[in-house]
Structure 1
Amino acid sequence: MTDPHPLADTELVEHSGYQIRLSPSGLEWLAFVALPKQRPTLIMASDRSAALSKAYEWIDQQRASDKKPE
């Protein structure tokens, strides 16, 4: 199967140590979010801005849950 959007369309953004790979896919945008060398979480949104916003929100929630006292 051929990828209709080559890697040249993929954008890498970093936020709080996480990597966000943004890529257009058909009518939506995909954001793959992960710390280096970890399995990514997939976030889907209708546009690039929404995908990036959701990725930032997800990262902030992960960081907040890591800081909670036991």
Structure 2
Amino acid sequence: MKYPERMKELRQDLDLSQEKISKLLGVAQTTYSQYELDKRSIPIVYLVALCKFYNVSADYMLGLTDKK
């Protein structure tokens, strides 16, 4: 599983909107949407922020492991 799929899955599991997560990161909702659609690479600093927010490892977020 690629990281955009993990991002979407984690967000939906908590019943959060793209707008809520985009505000957390300080980006436009359309920009965040492009991260989830794999149309734009997510900057590392945002990836780290999402890992901390969802309390998962970077390896999990990147799809290198299925262990959170």
TM bracket (short chain): 0.3 to 0.5
TM-score (norm: length of structure 1): 0.33
Q: Tell which structure's C-alpha radius of gyration is larger.
A: 1
- Give 1 or 2: higher strand fraction: 1
Q: Which has the higher contact order (CA 8 A, sep 6+)?
A: 2
TM-score (norm: length of structure 2): 0.34
